[in-house]
Structure 1
Amino acid sequence: MSQTDVRLDGSAELRPDREATPGSAGGRRARLTPAGTGPDSYYGQPVLNEPTWQAHDIAAYLFLGGLAGASSTLAAAAELTGRPHLARASKVGALCALGGSLYALIHDLGRPARFLNMLRVFKVTSPMSVGTWILTAYGPQAGVAAATATTGLLPGAGRAATIGAGLAGPAVATYTAALICDTAVPAWHEGYREMPFLFAGSAAAAAGGLGMLAAPLAEAGPARRAALAGAAAECLAAARMERRMGPVAEPLRRSRLLRAGEALSLAGALAGITAGRRSRLAAAAAGAALLAGSALTRFGIFHAGMESANDPKYTVQPQRRRLAQEKAKRDLT
């Protein structure tokens, strides 16, 4: 249709509002720019609906779930290598962390029945469905392992439950990475390759910190080594992820929580493997730093994701780059 109307006197009159051209609305310029040069939505409004998750629930759920899974794996290793104090501390810590994680998840869902309703189906393409069943298989074993360790009853059943929970532990510690990366939140979705490794490293560092806090120095060797390996894996995965993601990683790079978490994890791991070998006080301080660092990492990732969801450029620019790459490939063929 034409951009003009014909007046009663036969002259043409421009219709300013009835047929708006792309990039204009009511005389105001819409914020549409070439790829990679600025804001990328009309009037800078978010393209995505911000997730309704609350930081104190979901970030705590991510942290406590990782701590539970990694602690169970550390408990199994301690059980098999004859370190009863470290094994018991890790089992009890895993059960407490699991309880806190489930509380945070159910509190965010609103009603316990919503968690139970997820058990009605098993959908392999849904990280939430798979994670629900992982927790369902892991939880009773973690509970039996902790109960037998504290009471001394049924040691055979406790040992079997400890090994079972230890085998399920890595899945418990990392499935939450797949869960958040399966969303449309740019800072999470674009980090799908490295996020599981980051979560695994952070969880191992936290479990090592808990072991160093609770176990005597003579038995804490596996905890110290787990903390060092976990902190290194966490920092390497974060650096690789931020480098690969490019501009979408800006909220992650700006996150003070994430930087503080990495610093505490590295400092705690190094202190644990050096001074923590000889001093109970140093071991406790290192363990506390590792736990705090892992928690800050999860909260930093959560808040960076929320920031990226609220800024349209982190949604539109990656799409434009992918379209440009696909067009370039088609032009070459």
Structure 2
Amino acid sequence: MVRASPWKADIPTYFFAGGLAAGSSLLAAGADLTGRPGLRRATRIAALGSVGVSLYTLVHDLGRPARALNMLRVIKPTSPMSMGTWSLTAFGPLAGVAAVAEVAPALERRLPPRLRWTARLLAVAARPSGLLAAAVAPMVGTYTGVLIADTATPAWHEGRRELPYVFAASAATAAAGLGMITAPVAEAGPARRMGMIGAAADLVAEYRMETSMGIVSQTLREGSAGRLMRASKVLTLGGALGVLVLGRRSRVAAIASGAALLAGSAGTKFGIFHAGQASALDPRYTVVPQRERMEGGGSTGPRRP
């Protein structure tokens, strides 16, 4: 009754990488403003690498780069895809300038004297670019949740109220996890706090989503989606507990906890993707919610317990 999305593994990777880039950019801006050069360097580079992966997977799924460029012909505020494409287009260069500026001192020493001004210009532009990237980051990290919720795919549509919050929290835990892995323990305090807050928000938002979707919530508990979602919860909770107990005292514990948070975020994005695909293949996930809305006398949104 509903055609399953033609998307392949590129798209959940795109969801995950975009969230990681957004969260890393926010951490980098905070690290820059509070004098944490190690955390700033790691998260700026992570933001650039992640947005590169996100753009690559988007273009690869579209098939031709020209199709991605065609999406920039108009600006449509009512379209999550249009706004998301423009936010990525703005975010990428800003994150790139901030990341490249981290190697500007080494670059300046290797350049001919007549070109060293470029390295100095990068160093000057680093903070404004990083802060502007952080300003765009919330949209980059959440628009994909709005995008899939604005479809007829039952699992995504029924969870439309919670999906943006799930994606935002997942982006925070991913960025925090990578920050804890790559930054010195002494500077990783903001990453640890983001990780614990993001993990709590992620688990609460996922619970709220699963308990509000009616029969469609079965897609989040069965098959490959169910396995991924259960694993993501265990990893996210374990990572948060590791941060709370040992993350600030042990480099090994910080790396292990960060890896768990990072893997948990990836599991959430891939699990939600597979749940949507499964829900489109089974007609009951389309028919039963429609009948419930008709019997309840409403025409919009699923009934809430």
TM-score by length of 2: 0.90
- CA deviations 1:277-324 (Å, max 9, x no partner) are 111111111111111111111111011111100010111111111112
Q: Could you tell me how far apart the structure 1 residues matched to 2:186 and 2:88 are?
A: 32
1:109 alignment counterpart: 62
Specify the SS of the correspondent of 2:3: coil
Q: Aligned pair 1:307/2:278, yes or no?
A: yes
1:156 alignment counterpart: 124
- CA deviations 1:208-235 (Å, max 9, x no partner) are 0011001101100000000011111111
Q: How much has 1:188 moved relative to structure 2?
A: 0.3
Q: Could you tell me how far apart the structure 2 residues matched to 1:160 and 1:94 are?
A: 15
Q: 2:240 aligns with which of 229, 254, 269?
A: 269
Q: Could you tell me how far apart the structure 2 residues matched to 1:270 and 1:175 are?
A: 29
The one-letter code sitting in structure 1 at the alignment partner of 2:266 is: A
Q: 2:35 aligns with which of 69, 72, 82?
A: 82
- CA deviations 1:262-287 (Å, max 9, x no partner) are 11011112212321111111111111
Distance 1:133 1:234, change over 3 A: same
- Structure (1 or 2) with the larger CA radius of gyration: 1
Specify the SS of the correspondent of 2:72: helix
The answer as to whether partners of 1:88 and 1:150 remain within 8 angstroms in 2 is no
Q: How much has 1:67 moved relative to structure 2?
A: 0.3
Q: 1:167 aligns with which of 135, 151, 162?
A: 135
Q: Aligned pair 1:211/2:179, yes or no?
A: yes
1:115-194 paired onto structure 2 within 5 Å? 115-152=68-105, 153=119, 154-194=122-162
Q: Could you tell me how far apart the structure 1 residues matched to 2:298 and 2:75 are?
A: 38
Percent identity (aligned): 59
2:45 alignment counterpart: 92
Which consecutive aligned stretches of 4+ in structure 1 deviate over 6 angstroms post-superposition? none
TM-score by length of 1: 0.83
- CA deviations 1:24-46 (Å, max 9, x no partner) are xxxxxxxxxxxxxxxxxxxxxxx
Q: Aligned pair 1:53/2:7, yes or no?
A: yes
Write 1 or 2 for the structure with the bigger share of helix: 2
Aligned residue pairs total 281
The one-letter code sitting in structure 1 at the alignment partner of 2:3 is: N
Q: How much has 1:253 moved relative to structure 2?
A: 2.5
Q: How much has 1:327 moved relative to structure 2?
A: 7.1
Q: Could you tell me how far apart the structure 2 residues matched to 1:318 and 1:139 are?
A: 40
